[in-house]
Amino acid sequence: MKTYAGPPSDHFDGTSFFDPDGAPPKGLRQMLRWQFGSGRQRPRWPVRAPSPYADQPPQRVEGGRLRLSFVGHASWLIQTAGLNILVDPVWSERASPVSFAGPKRVNDPGIAFAHLPPVDVVLVSHGHYDHLDLATLSKLARRFAPRVVTPLGNDLTMRSADSAIRAEGFDWGDRVVLGDGVAATLVATRHWSARGLFDRNKALWASFVLETPAGKIYLVCDSGYGSGVHFRRVREAHGPLRAALLPIGAYEPRWFMRDMHMNPEDAVKALADCGAEVALAHHHGTFRLTDEAIDAPVEALAAALDAARLPHDKFVVLRPGQVFELK
């Protein structure tokens, strides 16, 4: 497998990427302890948990309006300034390297693939299978030939699998102009990346700050909380933020997931740190990746907001197919 090669930096040692303010991912021994250790509690998920909503978005949203459609898990369609942007698009049935095993979705995408408007740009945050879905990217390439913006190394993964995917790799701090009045800046996030046993951290991971006529949107597709420094730095460098997309799921057991995935309490702290006017929750309720119950993230988010004395409309939970708009 071809991997990124470039000069060393403060987060690349010449071979692998790392987060100076993060923590290395857990190793095989810890993975086995989680999967097979005694005392594991794993509430059952339903085979299907369909959303009652389905979006059929307009072809374009012009001017200063911004329309966010929740596709499911970490996938979003963002429409603004006449531009259609997909974030971490996954339309496959499984978040897995194979089609016959691995986490299977319990609800359909909130937008049927046939109902997508012309897709201009795709933002892919990192290489994990629930975020970088080669089958979906190939379908998008054949239908729309969108520009794909992704952290360093993931572009090689995409183009190696399908040369039609127009992938471009960028580093933390790079600002990429996407259209008139729209740009994305890749920012550090507390996570890691791998697609197999031998490519751990060979590709970079990132969050995005999206500049739009409606204001700046902070797109956090996967992240641990740590000390909160990543979120405070975004506020200092890119604030004020109109909205933040923050993950609230895939967090149990905490001893294993804490460094790389926020729980709802962490997400509420991240919202305070980044200073966004409103947060939209995601990364829950579609693929079973960890040990919490399917409804636990939403219930825990409500409790965390109450504990922080914040109104529930400060951190909005959508079902796949629901829409949130900013002006």
Which pLDDT value is given to residue 115? Answer: 98
Length of the chain measured in residues: 327
Scored b (16 or more CB within 10 A) or e, 202-234 reads bbbbbbbbbbbbbbbbbbbbbbbbbeeebbbeb
Domain 50-326 classification at class level:
alpha beta
So what's the pLDDT on residue 37? 83
Section 20-40 average pLDDT: 89
Is the pTM of the predicted complex or chain greater than 0.75? Answer: yes
What are 227-261's pLDDT values in tens digits? 999 999 999 999 999 999 999 999 999 999 999 99
- Tell me which long-range contacts 253-256 makes (C-beta under 8 A, separation of at least 24): 253/34, 253/40, 253/290, 253/291, 256/26, 256/30, 256/31, 256/34
Taking only the tens place, the pLDDT of each residue in 153-190 is 999 999 999 999 999 999 999 999 999 999 999 999 99
Compute the average pLDDT of residues 82-100. Answer: 96
Task: Look at residue 1 and tell me whether its pLDDT is greater than 80.
Answer: no
In the sheet with 147-151, reading across from the earlier edge strand, the strands are 166-170, 147-151, 121-123, 83-87, 75-80, 66-72, 323-326
pLDDT tens per residue, range 261-301: 999 999 999 999 999 999 999 999 999 999 999 999 999 99
- The token duo for 212 is 């739009």
Residue of 320, 246, 291, 325 lying closest to 70 (CA atoms) = 320
In angstroms, rounded to a whole number, what is the distance separating the alpha carbons of residues 37 and 30? 10
Beta strands in 13-159 (DSSP E): 66-72, 75-80, 83-87, 121-123, 147-151
User: How confident is the prediction for the chain on average, in pLDDT?
Assistant: 96
pLDDT in tens, 176-233: 999 999 999 999 999 999 998 889 999 999 999 999 999 999 999 999 999 999 999 9
2 band by pLDDT with thresholds 50, 70 and 90? confident
Q: How many CA atoms lie within 13 A of 63 on its CB side?
A: 4
Domain range summary for the chain, segments of one domain joined by +: 50-326
| Per-residue pLDDT band at 49 (split at 50, 70, 90) | very high
pLDDT in tens, 306-318: 999 999 999 999 9
pLDDT computed for residue 173 by the predictor = 98
- pLDDT the model gives residue 217: 98
pLDDT at residue 32, rounded to an integer: 87
